[in-house]
Amino acid sequence: MSALRPARPGEAGTIAALTERAYASYIPLLGRRPAPMDDDFTFRIAHGQAHVLERDGRIIALAVIEDRGDHLWIENLAVEPSLHGGGIGRALLAFAEAEARRLGLRELRLLTNERMARNRQIYARAGFTETERREEEGLRRVYMMRRLGP
């Protein structure tokens, strides 16, 4: 599998379309658009936070990460829906871990929606533990973290 690379100026529309496809199935579950669908990808690209995975010249996955000083925040992981189950999500998480280590950070953090049980299971299998649940902006959010060993 190819390595992730920083998203380039001009790819915001492609990334937004991928995110739309990746999160569309959650709209009926949540009764609204998930927050990643409305992110400002032009901003993310300009600040080096958006990274993409290409296959055959086509963007198939996205990782939006933020260095928050004491941890790496995983804002969004999106995979082309037709490619789910092929290990791309694991590759995105491995990339996030490698970036955290490169930056000298010892912890990964993220949040997901309480209703997104599949996501919570995926993150739990990847070593994340739940740290908090709270309601924000009308959404029940589950915060998770994973400490990185030496």
Helix (H, G, I), strand (E, B) or coil at 96: helix
pLDDT band at 150 (very low <50, low <70, confident <90, very high): confident
Q: What is the pLDDT of residue 138?
A: 82
pLDDT band at 48 (very low <50, low <70, confident <90, very high): very high
Q: How many CA atoms lie within 13 A of 94 on its CB side?
A: 10
This prediction has a pTM of: 0.94
The candidate with the shortest Cα–Cα distance to 114, out of 89, 139, 97, is 139
Q: How many CA atoms lie within 13 A of 131 on its CB side?
A: 12
pLDDT band at 1 (very low <50, low <70, confident <90, very high): low
The candidate with the shortest Cα–Cα distance to 73, out of 48, 99, 101, 110, is 110
The candidate with the shortest Cα–Cα distance to 75, out of 92, 98, 59, is 92
The candidate with the shortest Cα–Cα distance to 68, out of 53, 52, 47, is 47
Q: Rounded distance, CA 114 to CA 20, Å?
A: 20
**pLDDT tens readout for residues 66-106:** 999 999 999 999 999 999 989 999 999 999 999 999 999 99
The candidate with the shortest Cα–Cα distance to 63, out of 72, 71, 141, 53, is 53
Indicate whether 36 pLDDT > 80: yes
Q: Which fold has domain 5-147?
A: Aminopeptidase (3.40.630)
**pLDDT tens readout for residues 104-145:** 999 999 999 999 988 899 999 999 999 999 998 888 999 999
Strands of the sheet containing 129-136, edge to edge, are 5-6, 50-55, 58-67, 72-79, 107-113, 139-147, 129-136
